[in-house]
A = this chain, B = another copy of it.
Amino acid sequence: MKDDAPTALDLPMVDPLPPETQKYFDICQDKLGMVPNVLRAYAFDIDKLNAFTALYNDLMLADSGLSKLEREMIAVAVSSVNKCYYCLVAHGAAVRQLSGDPALGEQMVMNWRVAKLDARQTAMLAFATKLTETPHLMGETDRKGLRDVGFTDRDIWDIASVAGFFNMTNRVASASEMAPNPEYHAQAR
């Protein structure tokens, strides 16, 4: 792939980008110091980019009984099962930043079970991991496990949706050899 290409697929960005998209990318550049490669990867087709970002923003940023950090923890734990380099790098950095705890980010990447988490977050990650590994074995017992530590049915939906989303995006990234922006590596260490 070309040095700067976000994936191993030859799918150049729309050029020029529509003004809305350009504005969104400019905001990323300003706030994050980069345009995340996942956005550049989708930008060969603006409808696909918009559908992806709408779903992503709803899941990861909209109101939820899960904190943003918790959603990022799920993202990394799921990506660890699937060994997705892009997502582990990008969302591992997010866990480090949101938690202020560099070791927590590493634990989510390497084996979340070693982290000293409370019962709520343990149940949340156990559910997300089982859902990733053996979705056909999920049942009422698993949902009860979440309710028992205080999650609502809406929270269960959100845990499943975030876990599901990264099972999707892990595969798009792995299939296309999506490269994480190098800026992530040193962040919040």
Contacts and interface: CB of A to CB of B under 8 A. Distances in A.
A51 to B, nearest CB: 4
Interface in A146-171: 153-154, 156-157, 159-161, 163-165, 167-171
What range describes how many residues of A lie at the interface? 35 or more
A11 B164 contact: no
B164 A176 contact: no
B83 A110 contact: yes
B136 A82 contact: yes
A55 interface: yes
Given A47-B58, A171-B164, A153 B82 contact: no
Interface of A: 8-11, 44, 47-48, 50-52, 54-55, 58, 62, 80, 82-85, 88-89, 102-103, 106-107, 109-111, 113-114, 127, 131-132, 135-140, 142-143, 153-154, 156-157, 159-161, 163-165, 167-172, 174-177, 182, 185-186, 189
